[in-house]
Amino acid sequence: MSKADLNNYIGGEWTCSGTQGYCDVENPSTGQAVARVPLSSPEEAEQAVAAAKAAFPEWSATPVSRRCDFLFKLTDLLRGKAEELARLISEENGKSLPDSRAEVKRALENAEVACGMPLHQQGDKLINGAAGIDGEVLRLPVGVFGMIAPFNFPLMVPFWFFPYALATGNTYVIKPSEQAPCSMQRVAEMIEECGFPPGVFNLVHGDRVAAERLLEHRDVQGISFVGTSRVCRTVAVRSAETNKRCQALGSAKNHLVVMPDAKIDPVIRNMISSCYGCAGQRCMASSAIICVGDEVCQTVTDAFLKASRGVRVASPLDPEVASESMLMGPVISAKAKRFILDMIQVGVDEGATLALDGRGLEVEGCQGGHFIGPTVFTDVKPGMKIHQTEIFGPVVVILKVATLDEAIQVINDHQYGNGASIYTQNGHYAREFKLRTRVGMVGVNVGIPAPVASLPFGGMKDSIFADVKAQGKAVVQFFTEPKVITERYWPED
Ligand code: NAD
């Protein structure tokens, strides 16, 4: 992408913003600007909400099958432009091309699931709930919904929500991450090409200023937020103040438990991809390994360190590495890199052993890039900050416990509960783990237990501030009002 100024898409028009200035969108591999994103004002966020509100009556009255026709067109376009979108994501976010392609695929799958809305939006009917009285539940669209997106899955995360919102008859305003806004701008262009009526889908670029206006706006009926738990808390409080529906998905520290009977070779390959994919910046990335027993701890530590040293770190758009499956790119920004380096120093200061040090890594031809190599701490104890904090980079901590019960306790005591996995061939261990861990998404011999698009996505504890999770059938509840009708008819005289 050439260094272009991005625009807002409001009421079917591309509007030139920049009233509050612009900020550069960097390619994190080089540190160079690839675009400028406008920092929209609260008034521009209001214009988007007004456009969405004006579009709601007609869109909500459009038959559901007709609404889905537009989404079918969008899935066709996404399929045709998948490679272009993947490259945009790799450029703005720094993840490898295979990771970006997987992101586009999961976005597409969500749009496909939303195309099934004529089935998902069906209500219920109870005949003779009382004598001669029937009860009926209608699933009706609600109004204008908003979404505030994170940088780490700049394209896929919005698809957890907006296709479902549109298919159920609501209208939408999205504010992409200011750090990685280019791929969603491209999606907005595709939405225009599909012929969605003006105002049904609106895009407002910017930072927290525009986001906060969406949060406090009385005409926004609900907010889907994905980002850090610190901001989730604010989003939840501010949504409650204006009586909005709110789903806020937050930070994580995902654990991988290795039992003594685990199949070590595939487990190590699986852990490497879970810990270092997207440079550790997936909300489902694992960053804490718990080994159960001395022997397995020694074996896993040695093998994991060896495999970590073999991870290739490079710019994802370097043609030489484009098809490499286990490639690690940079972290998103200089600020993120500084935080991760600080956390590595914290680990050293609090007495963990820095068994592999990714600091000081240089990638040839990418001097301005924000690279950190795979970093591993051993001798880590649960109370340490490097275990308590979401570091969101390629930094892995290894802990040792004596029993599965202890491993489950470590996970359950942690503030975050997004995902966790167990490696074992033993059905009893797996069953205990599935039932007793306080996390929202569990893997058994699967290092990234991210559910497919038709199943709910979301964690527990401080990883989520919501009752309704993302994607699939679950999110249909968020976007519809279950209006209940109680009716009777007396016989004719
Ligand atoms: P972030 O919280 O810094 O920003 C997310 C969005 O919130 C951005 O669009 C930003 O402009 C906006 N924002 C920032 N401050 C705000 C405020 N005070 N009010 C309203 N909006 C505000 O998060 P990030 O760094 O972009 O994303 C990484 C985080 O997202 C990690 O913690 C990661 O675990 C989390 N995440 C969670 C999931 C999940 O499913 N739980 C999925 C993806 C990412």
User: Could you tell me what percent of the chain has a pLDDT over 70?
Assistant: 99
Residue 194 annotated to the active site: no
pLDDT at residue 47, rounded to an integer: 98
pLDDT per residue over 431-456, tens digit each?
Answer: 999 999 999 999 999 999 999 999 99
CA-CA distance, 17 to 8, in Å (whole number)? Answer: 7
* pLDDT tens-place string over residues 457-471: 999 999 999 989 999
In-domain check, residue 105: yes
Residue 182 lies in a domain: yes
Q: Are residues 202 and 271 in the same domain?
A: no
Query: Is residue 450 one of the residues assigned to a domain?
Result: no
What's the gap in Å between 250 CA and the centre of ligand 1? 7
Mean pLDDT of the chain: 97
Q: How far is the CA of 390 from the centre of ligand 1 (A)?
A: 13
pLDDT tens for each residue of 319-370: 988 878 778 999 999 999 999 999 999 999 999 999 999 999 999 999 999 9
Residue 388 in this model has a pLDDT that exceeds 60: yes
Average pLDDT over residues 246-274: 98
Closest ligand 1 atom, residue 230 Cα = 2
Q: Is any atom of ligand 1 closer than 6 Å to the C-beta of 208? A: yes
**346 and 409 housed in the same domain:** yes
- Output the CA 55–ligand 1 centroid distance in Å: 28
Q: Is 152 in the pocket of ligand 1 (CB under 6 A)?
A: yes
The answer, yes or no, to whether any atom of ligand 1 lies below 6 A from the CB of 149, is: yes
How far does residue 231's CA lie from ligand 1's centre (Å)?
Answer: 7
**Predicted local confidence at residue 2, as pLDDT:** 43
Q: Could you tell me if 56 and 129 lie in one domain?
A: yes
Q: What is the mean pLDDT of residues 176-194?
A: 98
- Judge if the beta carbon of residue 396 lies within 6 A of ligand 1: no
Please tell me the residue having the least CA distance from ligand 1 atom 22: 208
CA of 465 to the centre of ligand 1 (A): 13
Predicted confidence band at 3 (pLDDT cuts at 50, 70, 90)? low
Q: Which of 68, 283, 297, 366 is catalytic?
A: 283
* pLDDT on residue 370: 98
Q: What is the CA radius of gyration of the chain?
A: 24
- Predicted local distance difference test score (pLDDT) of residue 199: 98
458 lies in a domain? no
Q: Is 399 in the pocket of ligand 1 (CB under 6 A)?
A: no
Domain holding 82, by residue range, is: 8-250+463-485
**Higher model confidence: residue 337 or residue 474?**
337
Rounded to the nearest angstrom, the distance between the alpha carbon of 227 and the centre of ligand 1 is 2
Please work out whether the CB of residue 286 comes within 6 Å of at least one atom of ligand 1: no
Q: Looking at the structure, do residues 218 and 296 belong to the same domain, yes or no? A: no
Query: Between 3 and 112, whose confidence is greater?
Result: 112
Q: Do 321 and 400 belong to one domain?
A: yes
The CATH number assigned to the domain holding 434 equals: 3.40.309.10
Read off the tokens for 233. Answer: 């808390």
- Reported as a single tens digit per residue, the pLDDT across 4-39 is 899 999 999 999 876 789 999 999 999 999 999 999
In a shared domain, residues 98 and 222: yes
Whether residue 183 is found in the same domain as residue 322: no
Domain assignment present for residue 2? The answer is: no
Is the same domain home to 221 and 275?
A: no
In a domain, 309, yes or no: yes
My answer on whether 268 and 383 are in the same domain is: yes
**Domain presence at residue 115:** yes
CATH number at residue 81: 3.40.605.10
Q: How many domains does the chain have?
A: 2
49 and 217 Cβ atoms separated by less than 8 Å? yes
pLDDT at 17: 74
Are the beta carbons of 247 and 218 closer than 8 angstroms?
Answer: no
Q: How far apart are the first and last CA of the chain?
A: 75
- The owner of tokens 């890199």 is 337
> According to the model, what pLDDT value does residue 473 have?
87
Query: Do 56 and 118 belong together in one domain?
Result: yes
Q: What pLDDT score does 19 carry?
A: 75
Residue 8: per-residue pLDDT: 97
- Select from 23, 92, 151 the residue to mutate for testing ligand 1; criterion: most ligand atoms less than 8 Å from CB: 151
Q: Is the CB of 347 under 6 A from ligand 1?
A: no
Ligand 1 lined by 418 (C-beta under 6 Å): yes
pLDDT tier for residue 1 given thresholds of 50, 70 and 90:
very low
In angstroms, what is the span from residue 318 Cα to ligand 1's centroid?
Answer: 28
Please report which confidence band the pLDDT of residue 56 belongs to, taking 50, 70 and 90 as the band edges: very high
Q: Which atom of ligand 1 is nearest the CA belonging to 229?
A: 32
Q: State whether 30 and 126 are in the same domain.
A: yes
Torsional class of 42: left (φ above 0), alpha (ψ -120 to 50), beta (otherwise): alpha
| The ligand 1 atom nearest the CA atom of 175 | 9
290 C-beta closer than 6 A to ligand 1: no
**Burial letters for 156-185: b for 16+ Cβ neighbours within 10 Å, e otherwise?**
bbbbbbbbbbbbbbbbbbbbbbbbbbbbbb
Considering the domain architecture, whether residues 271 and 336 belong to the same structural domain is answered as yes
Residue 162 and residue 479: Cα distance in Å, rounded?
10
311 lines ligand 1 (CB under 6 A): no
39 located within any domain: yes
| Ligand 1 atom index nearest CA of 332 | 25
Q: Which atom of ligand 1 is nearest to the CA of 232?
A: 2
Give me ligand 1 centre to Cα 285, in Å: 16
